[in-house]
């Protein structure tokens, strides 16, 4: 059984906006969500900037008592899920609960509560540890709490594949529906680790931008003067359904998910191989899964982290897979505006890719000012572009050499 799978609902909590409409408008306007860190004292840190979510109140989406017991990454995912379910008009009840599952991705889980608890144990002793510490910390509590709160009783899973986690969650959800295991899935990614430990750790790896005096210009994928990624937070959740199930409900459809590829680099714990081989095989696997040629793709929402190696090697990989067509399609990195949501990136960026197809609009790569060596593709520089987008691809690559690619197609089931 290979059922067609469509996207019927989406929810977003991002550094550039709360909700799909606000976020999409900000992206198309080229608005940056990056600024000075407010979550902790950055005096001793090399990096003092991040893409924080602003004006989020968990109690607007879930009961206040419940919100207090959740770490932020869980609340972000639950809020985005409420939006997505309402957008899809999908009611979960006794008749369908067993056929609707939840799969989300999260790279670092409740790192913030872990930080606080370790300090508490060290300074005040073990009796000061909250009974909610473990449930607040573990990554799988995001899909767990979504399942509990909204009543979905199908497969319940969490991926922890670093920066590819959200895309892997969506890809595996796609396959579950395609193969008939479930009829619908709540899926995506979430992350909330703008914390002293995370920033210090990524600084130690020399992975973060230190352009502290110009936060809005710090994330500059594919630009010659890029100096590292900017850590971001938030959540992107999608409702995927079997086409016939969506038809039966009379649901509106944003786009169709048609391809999924996943590979491993087998190369290095953090750096991709110079020839982008893992990314090459991943994109090709997604094209093969979708049953389309490389020249069918109009737009790629790139992984595009604003790091020296990723942007170069992803560009090389695109040229290898797409050959001459690489210079005809458009490639942009929305991380230039949202920062890098780590395990949440694949969630929000799949939403962005579906919206690109739905609206025939390519969001820009902002801060693209000077061409870098070998980064010579069409990166939709600085200004969004209205153009036909029939088929679009999104890439997510993670530490450990884990890769995921998804392909989205315009809905032709009218």
Per-residue pLDDT of the chain (414 residues; tens, 9 = 90+): 699 999 999 999 999 999 999 999 999 999 999 999 999 999 999 999 999 999 999 999 999 988 989 999 999 999 999 999 999 999 999 999 999 999 999 999 999 999 999 999 999 999 999 999 999 999 999 999 999 999 999 999 999 999 999 999 999 999 999 999 999 999 999 999 999 999 999 999 999 999 999 999 999 999 999 999 999 999 999 999 999 999 999 999 999 999 999 999 999 999 999 999 999 999 999 999 999 999 999 999 999 999 999 999 999 999 999 999 999 999 999 999 999 999 999 999 999 999 999 999 999 999 999 999 899 999 999 999 999 999 999 999 999 999 999 999 999 865
Q: Report the distance separating Cα 168 and Cα 355, nearest Å.
A: 19
Does the annotation count 45 as an active-site position? no
Strand (E) positions, 61-140?
A: 100-105
Helix H, strand E, coil C: the string for 66-80 is HHHCCCHHHHHHHHH
Q: Which of 28, 163, 282, 375 is catalytic?
A: 163
User: What are the structural domains of the chain?
Assistant: 5-249 (3.40.47.10), 260-410 (3.40.47.10)
Does the annotation count 303 as an active-site position? yes
| DSSP 8-class letter at 38 | -
pTM of the model: 0.98
Does the annotation count 340 as an active-site position? yes
Beta-ladder partners of 242: 5
Q: Which of 28, 106, 168, 303 is catalytic?
A: 303
| DSSP 8-class letter at 371 | B
Q: Is the dihedral of CA 301, 228, 105, 280 positive or negative?
A: positive
220-253 burial by CB neighbour count: b if 16+ within 10 A, else e? bbbbeebbbbbbbbbbbbbbbbbbebbeebebeb
Q: Which of 168, 282, 340, 375 is catalytic?
A: 340
């Amino acid at each position: 059984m290979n059922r067609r799978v469509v996207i019927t609902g989406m929810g977003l909590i991002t550094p550039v906006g709360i909700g799909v409409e606000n976020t999409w408008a900000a992206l198309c306007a080229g608005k940056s969500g990056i600024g000075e860190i407010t979550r902790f004292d950055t005096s001793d840190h090399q990096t003092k900037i991040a893409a924080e979510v602003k004006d989020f109140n968990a109690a607007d989406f879930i009961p206040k008592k419940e919100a207090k017991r959740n770490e932020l990454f869980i609340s972000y995912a639950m809020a985005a899920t409420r939006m997505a379910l309402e957008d899809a008009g999908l009611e979960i009840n006794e008749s369908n609960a067993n056929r609707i599952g939840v799969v989300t991705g999260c790279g670092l889980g409740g790192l913030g509560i872990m930080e606080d608890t370790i300090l508490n144990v060290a300074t005040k002793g073990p009796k000061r540890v909250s009974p909610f510490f473990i449930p607040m910390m573990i990554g799988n509590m995001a899909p767990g709490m979504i399942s509990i709160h909204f009543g979905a009783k199908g497969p319940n899973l969490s991926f922890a594949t670093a920066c590819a986690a959200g895309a892997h969650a969506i890809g595996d959800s796609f396959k579950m529906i395609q193969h008939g295991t479930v009829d619908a899935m709540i899926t995506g990614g979430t992350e909330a680790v703008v914390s002293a430990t995370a920033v210090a750790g990524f600084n130690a790896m020399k992975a973060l931008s230190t352009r502290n005096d110009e936060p809005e210009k710090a994330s500059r994928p594919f630009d010659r003067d890029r100096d590292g990624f900017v850590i971001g937070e938030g959540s992107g959740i999608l409702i995927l359904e079997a086409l016939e199930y969506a038809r039966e409900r009379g649901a509106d459809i944003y786009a169709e998910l048609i391809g999924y590829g996943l590979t491993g680099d087998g190369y290095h714990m953090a750096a991709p191989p110079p020839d982008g081989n893992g990314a090459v095989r991943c994109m090709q696997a997604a094209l093969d899964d979708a049953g389309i040629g490389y020249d069918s793709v109009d737009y790629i929402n790139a992984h595009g982290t604003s790091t020296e190696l990723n942007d170069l090697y992803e560009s090389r990989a695109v040229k290898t897979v797409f050959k001459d067509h690489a210079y005809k399609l458009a490639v942009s990195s929305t991380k230039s505006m949202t920062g890098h949501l780590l395990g949440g990136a694949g969630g929000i960026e799949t939403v962005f890719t579906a919206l690109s197809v739905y609206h025939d609009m390519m969001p820009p790569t902002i801060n693209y000012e000077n061409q870098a060596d070998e980064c010579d593709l069409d990166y939709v520089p600085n200004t969004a572009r209205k153009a036909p987008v029939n088929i679009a691809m999104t890439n997510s690559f993670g530490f450990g050499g884990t890769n995921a690619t998804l392909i989205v197609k315009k809905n032709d089931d009218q």
